[in-house]
């Protein structure tokens, strides 16, 4: 594998032990995937931030790396942590968990990474341009960056993303190369897809079928099956679900996503898959429960538009179940300025920053059941948080928050 003089110097330890370790990781990956060389990256998103997932071993790994004077060289953002970094007490998080979580954040900060703690970095300042090479490690954000923005990244793991941040490089393989960005499956959507939940159910079915392939959606765009203008925000639900039930890191939507608009992106041998009903997806993501303890909106993290939708719906109402809308801290501040946080709090709900329902220690909060409009959250919550889940549209979830019951 070709390395520049600077890359060789990093590998030799001339830039310190932290950079040497990082370059060793990048080079090892490059060798495994037979990369010809490395490519400079413009930004990095690091996952593996919640202490719930890292545990003491992960915390020690980060502390040791930070302790070697390691610093990032490119703009780097962090995935959600296990709690709201400021209002953790109000969420019922224990002091023991909070102490460990803050130690994780301090290690990242020591490396020069601001605690953005969001899985939608593209909504809060880390928004790559078309064609830019990046190294991101949050499967839903990877999917959005590749597909909706046309940037180029593989599905990095936490350590490999951090190594890319420290070296400013990643190995040039996988989705950094044109030939791997062609669609392996044509998905013919022949049923109505009209809400985020529908997009999630569709994503769940497609991810399960294509695994780590590259789907090309037909019939989903402006002239498609009733979706009527697939906004960028709504596509995050589709990509998140495919990345959860499968390992889809890139998809194309006819007439909508940038590479599909730019030309022919379908491989000659692509297999066709017909989706004529979403029922199987809804059935698979629902448990047979009626009582709802918690309603979770904002997986991936909610945009300002989504928060506004919830706030307007809740005006003058009062929730019975817990209601969490998870989002980036910056988005919450913008929502607060518009009076939306106040509206949601007046109804008894919470706009929770820095964390989410899957990476927070929900199992410690004594909750049994959750309703969500996110297929990704519905997919992971039973195993990651020990919750029984109901999955449906936003209004159905908000009704559940008001009544404490799943209706219909």
**Interacting residues with ligand F3S (CB under 6 A):** 79-80, 119, 140, 240, 299-301, 326, 356, 358-359, 376-377, 380
Residue 283 vs residues 123, 204, 205, 287, 305: alpha-carbon distances, Å: 31, 11, 11, 8, 28
Question: Is the Cβ of residue 140 or residue 373 nearer to ligand F3S in the bound state?
Answer: 140
Residue 385: CB minimum distance to ligand F3S, A: 10
Residue 386: CB minimum distance to ligand F3S, A: 15
Give the Cα separation of 240 and 336 in Å (integer). 26
Question: Is the Cβ of residue 218 or residue 236 nearer to ligand F3S in the bound state?
Answer: 236
C-beta separation of 41 from 167 below 8 A: no
C-beta separation of 248 from 143 below 8 A: yes
Residue 360: CB minimum distance to ligand F3S, A: 9
Backbone region of residue 308 per phi and psi (left: phi > 0; alpha: psi in -120 to 50; beta: other values): alpha
184 membership: H or E segment, kind and range: strand 183-189
Instruction: Tell me the backbone φ, ψ of residue 107, rounded to 5 degrees.
Output: -65, -45
Instruction: Tell me the backbone φ, ψ of residue 7, rounded to 5 degrees.
Output: -65, -40
Question: Is the Cβ of residue 91 or residue 265 nearer to ligand F3S in the bound state?
Answer: 91
Q: Where are the alpha helices (DSSP H) in 33-68?
A: 51-67
Question: Is the Cβ of residue 120 or residue 257 nearer to ligand F3S in the bound state?
Answer: 120
User: What is the four-CA torsion angle of 40, 41, 47, 49, rounded to 10 degrees?
Assistant: 80
Angle at which helix 232-245 crosses helix 139-147, to 10 degrees, equals 130
Q: What is the CA radius of gyration of the chain?
A: 21
Residue 31: CB minimum distance to ligand F3S, A: 30
Question: Is the Cβ of residue 119 or residue 187 nearer to ligand F3S in the bound state?
Answer: 119
Question: Is the Cβ of residue 171 or residue 358 nearer to ligand F3S in the bound state?
Answer: 358
Structure letter (DSSP) for residue 174: G
Question: Is the Cβ of residue 80 or residue 281 nearer to ligand F3S in the bound state?
Answer: 80
Question: Is the Cβ of residue 21 or residue 350 nearer to ligand F3S in the bound state?
Answer: 350
Residue 219 vs residues 238, 280, 369, 389: alpha-carbon distances, Å: 14, 19, 35, 30
Question: Is the Cβ of residue 134 or residue 358 nearer to ligand F3S in the bound state?
Answer: 358
Give the Cα separation of 263 and 255 in Å (integer). 10
Give the Cα separation of 277 and 205 in Å (integer). 10
Residue 356: CB minimum distance to ligand F3S, A: 3
Q: In what order do the strands lie in the sheet with 76-78?
A: 76-78, 44-46, 135-136
Residue 266: CB minimum distance to ligand F3S, A: 28
Residue 300: CB minimum distance to ligand F3S, A: 4
Total Cβ atoms within 10 A of residue 122: 23
Residue 298: CB minimum distance to ligand F3S, A: 6
Question: Is the Cβ of residue 26 or residue 353 nearer to ligand F3S in the bound state?
Answer: 353
Residue 136: CB minimum distance to ligand F3S, A: 12
CA angle 98-104-108, nearest 5°?
140
Residue 142: CB minimum distance to ligand F3S, A: 11
Residue (of 308, 385, 325, 1) closest to 172 by Cα position = 1
β-strand partners of 133: 152
Residue 281: CB minimum distance to ligand F3S, A: 17
Question: Is the Cβ of residue 141 or residue 206 nearer to ligand F3S in the bound state?
Answer: 141
C-beta separation of 137 from 79 below 8 A: yes
């Amino acid at each position: 594998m070709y390395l520049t003089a600077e890359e060789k110097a990093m590998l030799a330890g001339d830039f310190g032990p932290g950079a040497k370790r990082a370059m060793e990781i990048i080079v090892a990956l490059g060798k495994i995937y037979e990369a010809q060389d490395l490519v400079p990256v413009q930004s990095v998103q690091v996952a593996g931030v919640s202490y719930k997932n890292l545990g003491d071993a992960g915390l020690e790994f980060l502390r040791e790396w930070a302790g070697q004077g390691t610093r990032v060289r490119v703009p780097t953002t962090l995935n959600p942590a296990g709690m709201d970094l400021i209002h953790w007490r109000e969420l019922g998080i224990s002091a023991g968990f909070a102490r460990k979580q803050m130690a994780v954040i301090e290690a990242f900060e020591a490396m020069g990474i601001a605690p953005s703690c969001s899985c939608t970095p593209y909504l809060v300042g880390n928004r790559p341009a078309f064609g830019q090479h990046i190294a991101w490690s949050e499967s839903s954000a990877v999917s959005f960056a590749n597909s909706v923005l046309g940037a180029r990244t593989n599905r990095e793991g936490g350590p490999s993303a951090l190594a890319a941040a420290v070296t400013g490089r990643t190995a040039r393989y996988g989705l950094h190369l044109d030939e791997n960005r062609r669609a392996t499956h044509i998905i013919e959507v022949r049923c109505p897809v009209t809400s985020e939940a529908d997009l999630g159910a569709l994503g769940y079915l497609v991810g399960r079928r294509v695994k780590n392939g590259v789907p090309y959606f037909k019939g989903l765009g402006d002239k498609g099956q009733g979706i009527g203008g697939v906004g960028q925000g709504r596509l995050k639900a589709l990509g998140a679900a495919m990345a959860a039930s499968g390992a889809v890191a890139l998809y194309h939507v006819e007439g909508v996503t940038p590479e599909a608009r730019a030309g022919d992106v379908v491989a000659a041998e692509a297999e066709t898959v017909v989706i004529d009903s979403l029922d199987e997806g809804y059935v698979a993501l629902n448990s047979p429960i009626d009582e709802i303890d918690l309603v979770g909106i904002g997986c991936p993290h909610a945009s300002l538009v989504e928060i506004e939708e919830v706030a307007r719906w809740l005006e003058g109402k009062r929730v019975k179940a817990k209601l969490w809308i998870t989002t980036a801290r910056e988005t919450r501040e913008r929502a607060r300025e518009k009076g939306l946080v106040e509206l949601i709090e007046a109804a008894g709900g919470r706009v929770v920053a820095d964390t989410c329902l899957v990476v927070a220690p929900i199992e410690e909060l004594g909750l049994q059941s959750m309703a969500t409009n996110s297929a990704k959250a519905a997919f992971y919550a039973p195993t990651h948080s020990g919750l029984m889940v109901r999955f449906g549209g936003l209004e159905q979830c908000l009704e559940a928050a008001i009544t404490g019951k799943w209706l219909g």
